[in-house]
Amino acid sequence: MLSPTVEDRSIYATDRDPGPFIPFIKAVGRGEKLKRDLTYDESVEALRQIVEQTCSPAQAGAFLITQRVKGEAVDEIRGFTDLLRAETIIQIEPRVEGLLDLAAPYDGKVNTAQLVPAIAILLAEAGLPVVLHGDEDVPTKSGIGPGPVLRAMGVADDLGPEEVRQMVESVGFGYLSARLFAPQWHALLPLRHQFGLRTVLNSVEKLLNPANAPYQLSGFFHGNYIERLRAVQTGSRRSFIVQGEEGSIEMAVGRKTHIFAEDAASDLVLDPPSLGHVERVRIHSPGNAAEHAALNQAALAGEPGDAAEQVCLTAGVILHLFDLANSVPEGIKRARKIIAAGAATVRLARVVNAS
């Protein structure tokens, strides 16, 4: 396992041998006629050199930006993901049945409410244990992620991997900070901030599945990437991709949300009128983590409002996707019943105490 102290190293020395990494840059960046996708093995080695800081920052930046322009291929995404999961992260394996990796974007949200914490707590109370993972100040948005919101709700977001494993086993919920479970990955943030653009790193971090969950639900926005990402999800039994709010997993009331399965024939498209939703509802970002936390707590407490509706809709769909409800309406009804009974706030209190 890699030492968490790696983040304390200065990012990228400049006296490296420039040779070994150049072929990877040439492969993806030699223009329209000569560029090509990396093979799986090349992808593994390219990201290994970036993560281990054996190439220069200029080389890493050139590769990541030219690869973005080219477009990431399936083997490239799979190679990056496999390298990170096998060699750079601290993995846990909670002894719980049917664990869900709820993979929200690490760069958070800037325009709409961050409601993933409430959704995760509600799912845990419904019998679907959840692990969240993320980081802070992640480009390109550097928005509000689940971690700061959980912290404002009284839930520790800085527990070590072993503590998180115990917490999941105890209360069906846990949050893993990349600073602690993926220190080399976290150490790339200064470099990533210099680009100002999304790179493949934004996609791969949602595939890390550090708790080895058999179920996975991840959020992506851009349709051209989603088709490539179907084949590389890391839930061992079942995985879905949600084209949700700001590329996250939240499903907005009144919005026709597309949910992509591993097999296109199993895709689900939410039809708002059939769910009783006539108008599109957008919950604007309140601005800081404490205000996001208040929205989450109000939703779990059953206070009527747009946040509660979005939390119940999203949780209800997820319960249906993973066989805890026979239909989306039934899942929504179950979510509302849990909240109305006060069980969601009790679960939140248990999570706070366990952390």
Domains and CATH numbers, the chain: 14-87 (1.20.970.10), 100-354 (3.40.1030.10)
Beta bridge partners of 174: 131
Residue 39 to residues 28, 73, 79, 90, 262, Cα–Cα distance (Å): 11, 9, 8, 26, 22
Per-chain mean pLDDT for the chain: 93
Predicted confidence (pLDDT) per residue in 301-310, tens digit: 999 999 999 9
Say yes or no to pLDDT of 69 above 60.
Answer: yes
What band does 144 get if pLDDT is binned at 50, 70 and 90? very high
Q: Which residue has the higher pLDDT, 98 or 17?
A: 98
Mean pLDDT, to the nearest integer, of 105-113?
Answer: 97
Pairing of strands 100-103, 130-134: parallel
Q: Determine whether 48 is exposed, middle or buried from the number of CB atoms within 10 Å of its CB (0-12, 13-18, 19+).
A: middle
Q: What is the mean pLDDT of residues 141-150?
A: 97
Q: Is the pTM above the cut of 0.85?
A: yes
How large a percentage of the chain has pLDDT more than 70? Answer: 95
Taking the C-alpha atoms of residue 186 and residue 201, their distance in angstroms, rounded to an integer, is 11
Question: What's the confidence (pLDDT) of residue 287?
Answer: 85
Residue in 251, 123, 140, 250 with CA at minimum distance from that of residue 199: 140
The 10s digit of each residue's pLDDT in 119-140 is: 999 999 999 999 999 999 999 9
What's the pLDDT score for residue 7?
Answer: 44
